[in-house]
Structure 1
Amino acid sequence: MNLIGKIFVLVIVLMSLLFMTLAMAVYSTHKNWKTAYNQLDAKYKQLDSEYKQANSAAQLTEAQLRGQLDASQSDVGRLQSERQSLIARNEDIQTEINNLKQESRDATAAVASTQANAERLSGENSVLRDNVIAANEAADESFKKTQEATGKLHDAKLELANNIESVSELTAEVARMRVLMTREGLNPDMPLDNTVPRVGGFVSSIRRRAGDEMIEITIGSDDGIRPEHTVEIFRMTNDPNQSKYLGRAQVLSTDGDRAYARILPNLKKGRIEEGDRVATRLN
């Protein structure tokens, strides 16, 4: 077989395959039109029956709805009438409520006025009660003071009697002392401020500054010490022969049980220490 023969054989094979493919495609798309018509006719009849049933149901439903609409319109009319009645009733009730509110306001005002009067009366009652209590307390206090005054008067009478007796005794004592002072050569009428009492004490502290020596002593105004008085300073030992006179100090100021004095340099005889003795007189 030559080349041309081979080409024709190949073309025939290819064409066979092509026609076979076309035949299969036509077969796959082939439809039985009679069977399809019968199916569509059955479906049409079914839909027509359903339409008739639905139309009949719709007519029945429309009649029912018309009846319900009439009944609803009748109900609406009845409800509208009831609404008007309720509105009128509501207005009457509102009027009654307003009247009750006014009555409530009036009652509240009356209650407030009554409460104010009650509080005022309560306050007046409290004031009266306090006044009564205060009057009773004042009466009790007056009675107590009267009793105390009576007791004090009695005590004063006793004290007066005792004082009169004491004055008599003191007068006699003063007369006796005047006699003794006159006998000792003292003037009984000399002012007490000029009299230096015979008292003694100790040096409690010493302060030295700029050549001056200040001492604090344990006798003061309660003992009759006054500024400008002088005190003698000395040191006592167990052996009287060893006692030593140290000097003199002038009182500058005093307290009840203390006095402050300055050492007189021209009369100083030795070093003064805390614990040394002081006295207004040595004999």
Structure 2
Amino acid sequence: MTFIGKIFTVLIFVFSLVMMSLALMVGATHKNWKDEATWPASNPARPAGLMDQLAAAKKQNDTLRAENDKLRRDIESVRTAERLEVAKLEAAQQALTQKHDALTKQHQAEIEALAKANATLASAEDALKAKQAELDKLRDEIRVAQAERDKTLLQVVDVADKNHQLTLNIANMQRRGVELAAQIGQLRNVLAAHNIDANMDVTGAAPNLEGIVKSVRNNGQDITVLISVGKDDGLRVGHEMNVFRGGNLIGRVRLVSVDPDRAVGESDPLYYKRPFQIGDVARTIQPTAEFERQASNKK
């Protein structure tokens, strides 16, 4: 074999090694996208496939839509009840107004009757001056007229007292109507506030709760932990929990998923001190005095 032939032989061997290395690298970096899409959620060897994740997201979306529709129906029911209550109050006010008008007319009629009685009395007094001979008879008539006048006066006073009491009742009803209108306005403001975010806890405070870390997952970017308490214990998405080991704070997690009996928290990098382990204790963060003051002012 010539020298040039040996050189070509060596070059062919080197290129064969290079091509073999490239083939091994391509095989090592290959990713089975079918498994990524269809991997069943029941197999814990790796995260659920994209199809299962999409189905879970659609189910959660349907649940949220149902809750939103229920809240809308509840709001409409409250508004209907408010309208009925306002209508009842307006009807009661109208009835009181009609009763007041009737009593006013009756009072006016009694005043006119009293005026007529006074005119009769004046005529009797004039007749007394003109007819001294009929003094005894006229005195009897005067006593009768005075008795009738006193009775009429008592009736007038009683009607005046009743009219005054009705006036006070009307004023009280008007004041109560203003108070109810203010309460209705406040209730509408509260409903408007709930329409902004119907699933948020307006106080924002988590219950005083403690759970155990059941599992830890680190995908290189995010660190998540599974905690032994959940929605039935009062936890909601967004609540934060400190993680302790032996009484020492090793990190903090924010809940990103809450089930009835467990919750998933994502580690906050600002508070991450040590790697989480199974058996670590997670406690909810209680509101500070300033937070409680702000929540009280909102109420």
Task: Return the TM-score normalized by structure 2.
Answer: 0.28
Structure of larger gyration radius = 1
